[in-house]
Chain A
Amino acid sequence: MTATAADRLAQIVAQGVIDADLNVVVPGHATLLPYLPEYWQEQIAQTGFKGAPDTSYPAGAETTARPDATPAQGPAGSDLALLRQQALDPWNTQVGILTCAYAVESIHNPDGAAAMASAVNDWLIAEWLDREPRLRASIVVPSQQPEMAAREIDRVGGHPGFVQVYLPVRAEAPYGNRRYLPMIEAAVRHDLALGIGFGGAPPTPPTPSGWPSYYLEEWAGMASIFQSQLMNLIFEGVFDRFPALRVVLIEGGFTWLPALLWRWDKEWKGLRPQTPWVKRPPSEYVHKHVRLTTQPWDAPPTEAQFLQIIDQLGSDDLLLFSTDYPHWQYETAEEALPPSGLPEGLINKIMRENARSFYHF
């Protein structure tokens, strides 16, 4: 660490940041018991059902948690005191947005999925939002049952702590599909963004050509699913149907975006008649409706190359700073900062202003 990098970090931290991705982890089904209705408490006692069995973050994977983030009890990301000490305080975080990737989509019983989602949301309210005013959170929904997801959004969407609906990027069908309309309509009704995040445990494999053998493939290959989801939202006309809809891509990287924007704009000119409801070049929808969190970024080897890619995004509004705490994406805080070669105004936008205006903070 050079003195210059440390000075720069101190200067940015002094102004405060908005952290668009803090991961919170449910320690286990016992945590949720007090938040479950009597029927599901009984089901758990009687049948051994333990809620969502799947996670996109294997406990032993090096990216899952920085070494110091695991509390005395429970998994990394389950302890508010550690979150304050390791993320909120050192970054001088003004607002931090919690995402909880509790995999309700892996629960095949629709009522069970909905009950567990509700319990997670009530747990988020009681044990995180009510205790820490700097935090906001994402609503966990049974997205595989869009009408039940809409009901859950209506139930808690009025809580001022919730700023978005969390959707795992892996899904049974892409989110522009008409089956999801009730869910998206509910998010828009409550002025909530859709936070589409890394992972998910639907019944379908994590690549369109089947199951890969190794975690690295799933981890690094997730970018292609973000691309499919984004393309589908645009061309199914979701942004035309809901002009107020806001979408945040979380933990998906962003260096892949420029090439797709070019390709979409090019093909749209000739193929527009197939989707005449898409009235503007696709890149304009992305610039208006979509934001991307910064960590983990798939940055090129040199800063000069990185600056080119950020320029190629075609807008200064797109990137939202995130630590992705407690996932282990970088060794020192300086490495999580945008490149120093960017104009100061753009750095300020990435560190806080873009999130402030997009989430209406």
Chain B
Amino acid sequence: MPLDPTNDVRRVVAGRVDEIPPGTRKLIVPFRGRAGIGVFNVNGDYHALRNLCPHKLGPLCTGRVSGRPVAAAPPSAYLGLPEIERDGEIIRCPWHLWEFDIATGECLVDPQMRVKTYPVAIEEGSVVVYANIADLPPLPPNRVVAHEEVTSI
């Protein structure tokens, strides 16, 4: 993906690198009333997702970041509990708990679904997202944004 801004693509400075340390996220709402962007630091790698779940348009990026329970086999007297794999790499939409891979945007319970991802670059100590305005649709009615998690720019 090209990192140069064009007419449509906006260079959005999400914040200083040290504002978003590993294991944290920052939500940005570049245009009032439009879906925002979630910027995530997963083990030192930055990823940006559209804050709009492709399932029912929930505020995906405000969901819980965790891992993914996996089990080699159903439980039995001879097998331990399920394990958590990829801790910190999975986000679950707060509305219906669907799991998404933060790095790729893939929905892990429905291969037809994927959340929009954006290129992220580190430029002079800042985390920069290159986002297309057309990719940031108006918020659906009744969508509540948690203000304490949002930085308007």
Contact = CB atoms under 8 A, between A and B. Distances in A.
B109 A276 contact: no
B73 interface: yes
A202 interface: no
Contact of A240 (B73, B96, B110): B73
Interface string B80-114: 00100000000000001111000000000110000
Interface of B: 68-77, 82, 96-99, 109-110
A240 B74 contact: yes
B96 A269 contact: yes
A238 B77 CA distance: 15
Nearest to B109: A269
26 contacts: A178-B75, A178-B76, A181-B76, A237-B71, A237-B73, A237-B74, A240-B73, A241-B73, A241-B74, A241-B76, A268-B109, A269-B96, A269-B109, A269-B110, A270-B97, A270-B98, A272-B99, A272-B109, A273-B69, A273-B97, A273-B99, A276-B68, A276-B69, A277-B71, A277-B72, A277-B74
B74 A273 contact: no
| Majority secondary structure, B binding face | loop
Interface string A233-244: 000111011000
A277 B76 contact: no
Given A237-B71, A271-B97, A276-B68, 4 more contacts: A240-B73, A270-B96, A273-B68, A276-B69
Among B68, B74, B98, B99, max chain A CB count under 10 A is at B74
A277 B70 CA distance: 7
A238 B71 CA distance: 13
A230 to B, nearest CB: 16
Interface in A259-280: 268-274, 276-277
Contacts of B96: 269-270
A277 B97 contact: no
Interface in A175-227: 178, 181
A-B pairs with lowest CB-CB distance, top 9: A237-B74, A270-B97, A269-B109, A277-B71, A276-B69, A277-B74, A273-B69, A276-B71, A270-B96
Contacts of A276: 68-71, 82
A276 B72 CA distance: 9
Contacts of B70: 276
A252 B153 CA distance: 61
B28 to A, nearest CB: 27
B74 A236 contact: yes
A269 B97 CA distance: 8
Contacts of B71: 237, 276-277
Among A236, A238, A277, max chain B CB count under 10 A is at A277
Nearest to A240: B74
A237 B74 CA distance: 5
Contacts of A273: 68-69, 97, 99
A225 to B, nearest CB: 22
B66 to A, nearest CB: 9
Contact of A277 (B82, B98, B109): B82
A277 B68 contact: no
Interface in A49-70: none
Contacts of A274: 69
Contacts of B72: 277
Contacts of B73: 237, 240-241, 277
Nearest to A181: B76
Contacts of A181: 76
Contacts of A178: 75-77
Nearest to B97: A270
A268 B73 CA distance: 17
Interface string A17-29: 0000000000000
Contacts of A237: 71, 73-75
Nearest to B107: A269
Contacts of B110: 269
Interface in A83-134: none
Contacts of B98: 269-270
A238 B73 CA distance: 9
A236 B71 CA distance: 12
A268 B108 CA distance: 12
A272 B98 CA distance: 9
Contacts of B75: 178, 237, 277
Contacts of A272: 99, 109
Contacts of A271: 97
A269 B56 CA distance: 13
Contacts of B76: 178, 181, 241
A83 B97 CA distance: 54
B87 to A, nearest CB: 13
Among B71, B73, B110, max chain A CB count under 10 A is at B71
